[in-house]
Amino acid sequence: MTTITAPSPARRAAPVNIPEVSDHIGLRRAVETSFTMAYRGLLKIKHNPEQLFDVTVQPILFTALFAYIFGGAIGGSVHDYLPTLIPGILVQTVVLTSVVTGTQLREDMDKGVFDRFKSLPIARISALAGALIADMVRYTIATVLTVVVGLCIGYRPDGGFAGVVVAGLVIIVCSFAVSWIWALVGVTGKSASGVQGMSMMIMFPLTFMSGALAPVQTMPGWLQGLNHVNPVYYMVNACQDLMNGNVYGSNLAYSLLGSAVVIAIFAPLAVKAYMRRA
């Protein structure tokens, strides 16, 4: 009699442990990956130098045009108008430059560039923070060019070198904070053109009414009142205090405190929206 041996059951493959991307990466690792992403952003600028047009051409054009067109009408002369104009145009140029942050984020997301970032072993905030840190280079270029153009046309800051440097640093920090708002708008917006249009519609009134180009005292009372809740107003005043007198007052405190509050509120919101929609 033939004995039939039952086939042994097939061996089950051992489970493969696929490492999951942790949401709780340490602070040091989060900082490192954020700067890695910032380096990626700088490479984009290197390969697409036209991204620097708004921080190279715009400061030169705006400073020269406003100085020679409105200098006599507002300040009595170009020379007397420059202490108001140069700090104001510096704030206006850098703050408006921060609007581009949201537009570029939306473009990258539409192209699918950020899709693979979610699967990488990096902190969730790194992709967005890196893009915003890279934009600080653009803010620095705009700041330096605006001051240089002002010096070329006769501006002599009474605050000295220290006042100008501190004012530039304050504006860069404040613009970094504001860029988190536009990052949230960019992540939640439907198109890059829509994000740009919405951002400009908000920022143009805030910058022009802030006293950046004309003294607030010459404006209607209701407009002066609105400026007390306008963050750009305090940035302009802080910049004027520093560049024209090296004064560290309440305007500087309000600007820095407001920047910290904006980052604390909008950075988590932007990251949460990015992870939900990216």
Span 43-70, pLDDT tens digits = 877 777 777 777 788 888 888 889 999 8
Residue 172 in 3-state DSSP?
helix
Q: What percent of the chain has pLDDT over 90?
A: 33
Residue 228 has pLDDT above 80, yes or no: yes
User: What is the number of structural domains in the chain?
Assistant: 1
Does residue 11 belong to any structural domain of this protein? no
Tens of pLDDT, residue by residue over 28-47, are 777 878 888 888 778 877 77
Does residue 14 belong to any structural domain of this protein? no
Tell me the C-alpha distance between 263 and 179, whole Å: 9
pLDDT average, residue stretch 10-16: 42
Residue 208 in 3-state DSSP?
helix
Tell me the C-alpha distance between 199 and 184, whole Å: 11
Does residue 135 belong to any structural domain of this protein? yes
The average confidence (pLDDT) of the chain is 82
Tell me the C-alpha distance between 146 and 150, whole Å: 6
Domain that holds residue 188: 27-277
Residue 19 has pLDDT above 50, yes or no: no
The pTM assigned to this predicted structure is 0.80
